[in-house]
Amino acid sequence: MTATRDPLEGLKIIDTDSHISEPHDLWTSRAPAGFRDRLPHVVEKDGGQHWVVEGDVELGPATPVSVVRKDGTKARGVEFFGWQIDDVHAASYDMRARLDLLDRFGIHAQLIYPNVAGFGNQNFLKVEDTKLRKLCATVYNDAMAEIQAESGGRILPMALVPWWKIDDCVDEVLRAKSLGLRGIVMCSDPDSIGLPDLGDDAWTPFWEVCDDQQMPVNFHIAASQTSFNMFGRASWPSMGMRRRLALGSTNLFMENARVIGNLLYSGVLERFPRVKVVSVESGVGWIPFLLEALDYEWAETGSQGEKELSMPPSEYFRRQVYGCFWFERTAPKLLVDAIGADNLLFETDFPHPTCLYPGVREHLAEVTADWSETTLRKILQDNAAKLYKVDLSPVQGSSASA
């Protein structure tokens, strides 16, 4: 009997969303003279470990936000809230171990997003000294460039930008590009601190540099003080912590519909047709409804009279926007045509609470069973490779030597 060929065999699968549990010396080991005790570092406080900056400004508990135990088993529930970095799998924080994990799952390359800074680099707003606040972002980017180089270009961290000052934001996009980084982490709601929103002309220099430098703009869920609502009003007060975590996580996915809707209506993508935008860790099942609703409401409300666009809002999505899926089964199977195979990316969200772990290959085999070879190659490999300029050459040697 002839063995059935694995349709994933030979693909250079690219994981477009995962996270780093930042090592406790990430900033201090790279701090310029005089800044070692001012940049983010971990201290013992109130019986636990905490990230602090500028001496005693609290950034949050120094938990790794990883649900994968040291022995590789996955926790379900909320016990991980109390874990320290020594309690979790080394691949959460050690990128050499991460490469070993990628090899185990047959993943060629993986994008990395932060934890400590917040998913839109909003946590450093707690730092009043603007020079220090900017340094928190630039030192992180220096560390991420090192990780990318040491991984042979297989681990691709997205750069933080000091979005609270538009000129500095533009400069850091250019610097990140010069470091070899392939995209940026962007705050979705700078207007939450009194800046103009991203559709305002004030942001033209930012969109111009992202357009010119071909740096994808990534809007991760919870990428601002406004959109991070995991334990706010997402759940009713009567819910227990486990249900609050579940409902909070789900509502974070939906929040990106607001972000993408505003972007499509803003005219930004009309003015900057080469800008590429990614909705990260938000799933894709809501996208067809959003696009249909946006087009319908645009016509019904006469929005064209207020802001003229040369195409329906949905067409800008198809030309310039991407969505990422991981745990979903229905949407990837049934909605490829509605969303567009050219606009879909795959992710795992490792090692976060909702991560696709450990059954990555099994899940992909199930979800993609009816896809054509062309669709499979686009969504799991080619779309991300083109967007983030990923080298698809065979990996040289073992990950242990990377």
Give me the number of domains the chain comprises: 1
Evaluate whether 188 touches 226 at the Cβ level (below 8 Å): yes
- Residue 125 to residue 194: CA distance in whole angstroms: 13
DSSP run (H or E) holding 337: helix 336-339
In a domain, 211, yes or no: yes
In a domain, 402, yes or no: no
DSSP run (H or E) holding 279: strand 277-280
Q: What is the mean pLDDT of each run of 10 residues along the chain (402 residues)?
A: 71 98 98 96 93 95 97 94 96 98 97 97 96 98 98 98 98 98 97 97 98 98 73 74 82 90 97 98 96 97 96 97 96 86 97 95 94 96 98 67 32
Evaluate whether 279 touches 324 at the Cβ level (below 8 Å): yes
Query: Which pLDDT belongs to residue 293?
Result: 97
Q: Tell me the whole-structure pTM to 2 decimals.
A: 0.94
DSSP run (H or E) holding 313: helix 313-320
SS3 61: strand
Q: Which domain holds residue 105?
A: 13-21+86-392
- Residue 396 to residue 274: CA distance in whole angstroms: 33
* Single-letter code of the amino acid located at 348: T
- CB neighbours of 145 closer than 8 A, spacing ≥ 6? 157, 179, 180, 181
Concatenating the DSSP letter of every residue in 135-201 gives: HHHHHHHHHHHHHHHHTTSSEEEPEE--TTSHHHHHHHHHHHHHHT---EE--S-GGGGTSPPTTSG
Evaluate whether 108 touches 12 at the Cβ level (below 8 Å): yes
In a domain, 27, yes or no: no
- Residue 15 to residue 202: CA distance in whole angstroms: 34
* Single-letter code of the amino acid located at 170: V
DSSP run (H or E) holding 325: strand 321-325
Query: Which pLDDT belongs to residue 402?
Result: 32
Query: Which pLDDT belongs to residue 77?
Result: 87
* Single-letter code of the amino acid located at 80: F
- Residue 170 to residue 208: CA distance in whole angstroms: 9
For residue 254, give both structure tokens: 């939906």
Strands 217-220 and 184-185: parallel
- Residue 28 to residue 135: CA distance in whole angstroms: 12
In a domain, 39, yes or no: no
Query: Which pLDDT belongs to residue 250?
Result: 80
In a domain, 81, yes or no: no
In a domain, 55, yes or no: no
In a domain, 49, yes or no: no
Q: What is the CATH number of the domain that holds 274?
A: 3.20.20.140
- Residue 352 to residue 80: CA distance in whole angstroms: 10
In a domain, 147, yes or no: yes
